[in-house]
Structure 1
Amino acid sequence: MNATVLFTGGKDSVYALHKAAEAGYRIVVLSSIIPLYRYSMLYHQPYFNILQAQSQSLGIPLETIGVSEGEMEIDALRMLLTRVRDRYGVKVVVSGAIASNYQRKRFEQVVGELGLELYTPLWGRNPYKYLGELLENGIRFIIMSITSMGIPLEILGREIEAEDVERLIKLARKYGFDPSFEGGDAETIVVDSPLFKYRLLIAGEKKILSEYEGYYEPSAVRLVKKPTSTSQHRPLSFQQGSPV
């Protein structure tokens, strides 16, 4: 059955893509909504050039739509899903939601209106085991933003390792943030996974806003051939662009 993933390029949407593929869905297109403002209640804020690189690495086409204000978030989702339904024959929408009823209910509403099915393979994951599960399944990611006290700013822009996960779990118990980052305490970008044909190398710099808030601002992303890859494509570079 043809499916699309609500794709941010972060750990949850990439892992949901993997679980959907394992379940037998044909992922025919990635669907990305790009808020043109900070602190969206419904969506993460992906980087268009990184989405392009991930689409290339996965070998799956990317469809995007920008949204300029919060009041238009649901309309943007409806427009994008209508497009991929009609253009790619999509029947199922895959979401990486783990515990957010706010997000899930709104996705269910729009998906139902369009006669589609919502699939949430990550729903109900244990937040204290989730990051470790990602690493065990080959999902490699870096931290792009932090907005919660207790998450060390030094890990911005750095690929997360097993020892980082152990540390984050301890800090989550102390400070009370969600160690799966489901509530937006931190946002991530996946740089490699078993389905990626290329690994992403991201250049950028840290921007520290306060003692508990900062982000990693990417300037460029490059795709490099993985050691085990048999692909003959040349590595590609993607500069910042605009959503369509």
Structure 2
Amino acid sequence: MRKLREIQQFIQKHRVVVYFLCLQEKEDIEGISVGAILSDYQRDRVENVCKRLNLQPLAYLWQRNQEDLLREMIASSVQAMIIKVAALGLDPDKHLGKTLDEMEPYLLELSKKYGVHVCGEGGEYETLTLDCPLFKKKIVVDSSEVVTHSADAFAPVAYLRFRELHLEDKVTPVPDNYKTSNYIHNS
């Protein structure tokens, strides 16, 4: 029993490493991509895991201009929905469930007014990508509810709890020979 508890504690403490070790066993993985733009913590954490597992860390978005990046994601048909808010000016009842293309003008305004990171890099919001050119199917949210974590008058913290989701075929599927480009990284 003591040994089982020690194993569980090890897995909990090193769950990211254990997860990637399991993936490596199943898939032919050579690298891990991180979406960090400014967070040294996120980038360092992924780099440390990669080093331990002899994988290549990829940080294509590192220190990119956030306004440019937001516009490029929208122009590249990345359909991401805001699923958590935690910043001055972001109202759970108004903004949860909106897509980045719907929110772009408002996020730019919040950036100018309050210094909000337009890509949410400071934890202002979190997103879920519902569709993008690389997805074979898109995610459809059928039912969700708003969960309030902190009802602060100035900067409430709330998130969407999904009750029901499903995958849906795309009108135009991704071709089998579709190659990714470095458009976002090299532009």
> What TM bracket, shorter-length normalisation?
0.7 to 0.9
- Do structure 1's residue 158 and structure 2's residue 82 form an aligned pair? no
CA RMSD of aligned residues (A): 2.4
Offset, 1:179: 1.1
What's the TM-score once normalised by structure 2's chain length? 0.77
Alpha-carbon separation, structure 2, partners of 1:81 and 1:207: 31
Q: Of Structure 1 and Structure 2, which has the larger fraction of its residues in helix?
A: 2
Cross-structure match for 1:134: 73
Alpha-carbon separation, structure 2, partners of 1:116 and 1:216: 34
Does the CA-based 8 Å contact 1:150-1:177 persist in structure 2? Answer: no
Structure 1 residues 161-208: Cα deviation after superposition (integer angstroms, max 9, x where no partner): 25x202211112212221111122111111111112222211212234
- Do structure 1's residue 200 and structure 2's residue 139 form an aligned pair? yes
- Pairwise mapping of residues 58-207 of structure 1 onto structure 2 (< 5 A)? 72=12, 75-153=14-92, 154-161=94-101, 164-202=103-141, 203-207=143-147
Alpha-carbon separation, structure 2, partners of 1:169 and 1:219: 31
Cross-structure match for 1:219: 163
Does the CA-based 8 Å contact 2:35-2:59 persist in structure 1? Answer: yes
Cross-structure match for 1:228: 172
SS at match of 2:66: coil
Letter of the structure 2 residue corresponding to residue 204 of structure 1? S
Identity of aligned residues (%): 26
* Larger displacement relative to structure 2 (153-162 or 128-137): 153-162
Larger Rg: 2
Alpha-carbon separation, structure 1, partners of 2:33 and 2:68: 22
Q: More relative contact order in 1 or in 2 (CA 8 Å, sep 6+)? A: 1
* CA shift in 2, pair 1:117/1:173, >3 Å: same
Offset, 1:72: 4.2
Alpha-carbon separation, structure 1, partners of 2:115 and 2:136: 37
Count of matched residue positions in the alignment of Structure 1 and Structure 2 = 161
What's the TM-score once normalised by structure 1's chain length? 0.60
Structure 1 residues 25-70: Cα deviation after superposition (integer angstroms, max 9, x where no partner): xxxxxxxxxxxxxxxxxxxxxxxxxxxxxxxxxxxxxxxxxxx99x
**Structure 2, unpaired ranges of 5+:** 1-7, 176-187
Does the CA-based 8 Å contact 2:139-2:165 persist in structure 1? Answer: yes
Alpha-carbon separation, structure 1, partners of 2:171 and 2:30: 35
Does the CA-based 8 Å contact 2:50-2:56 persist in structure 1? Answer: yes
Offset, 1:221: 0.4
* CA shift in 2, pair 1:135/1:77, >3 Å: same
Alpha-carbon separation, structure 2, partners of 1:107 and 1:140: 25
**Structure 1, unpaired ranges of 5+:** 1-67, 232-244
SS at match of 2:100: coil
Offset, 1:230: 8.2
Runs of 4+ aligned residues of structure 1 deviating over 6 Å after TM superposition are none
